[in-house]
Structure 1
Amino acid sequence: MKVLYFAWLRERLGRDFDEVSPPDGVRSIADLIDWLGAKDEGFALATANRELIRAAIDDELVEHDTPIGSASTVALFPPMTGG
């Protein structure tokens, strides 16, 4: 699975994406964020305030409790504003 990072999250992490293979226990977006944070202190710091992190699975906006299933991409990004 590819995890994409956008806006200030990408800037704080210093990368655009990660290719990961989460273990079976990682079932939701929240689980994925926890798992990535346990592996990478910088990621944990960048995502510490979960209210500021939005997610999409295969280009569909989702909540943190959404199962990731067999997603090919997960995008993480801050709230967006229109204009």
Structure 2
Amino acid sequence: MDVLYFAWVRERIGLPKETLETNAATVLDLIEELRLREERYAVAFSDLSALRVAVDQELTDFDASITGAGEVAFFPPMTGG
């Protein structure tokens, strides 16, 4: 599965994208796996209220299933202007 990071999430993790093999069933499970990898992931995912997620390019909640998904993207909330 491809995991994409945008804006300050990318800056904190240091990567725009990575391909992972995971047994995670939900977005939250994936986040927990990532938090345990390294401190930079723990910092990036420390405040989920400051994040949004899309699974296969559709906005969703953190409890959404990622079983069979090809892509998960993390980014800050979008604002209009």
The answer for the alignment partner of 2:28 in structure 1 is 30
| CA distance in structure 1 between the aligned counterparts of 2:51 and 2:32, rounded to whole angstroms | 13
- Which consecutive residues of structure 1, in runs of 5 or more, have no partner in the other structure? none
% same residue: 43
Q: What pairs with 1:1-83 in structure 2 (closer than 5 Å)?
A: 1-23=1-23, 26-83=24-81
Scaled by the length of structure 2, the TM-score of the pair is 0.95
| Cα distance in 2 for residues equivalent to 1:46 and 1:75 | 13
TM-score w.r.t. the length of structure 1 is: 0.92
**DSSP 3-state at the match of 1:71:** coil
3-state SS of 1:43 partner? helix
In structure 2, what residue type is equivalent to 1:78? P
Aligned residues: 81
Q: List gaps (5 residues or longer) in structure 2.
A: none
Once the two structures are TM-superposed, the CA of residue 12 in structure 1 deviates from its matched residue by 1.2
How many angstroms does 1:73 deviate by?
A: 0.6
Runs of 4+ in 1 over 6 A off after TM superposition: none
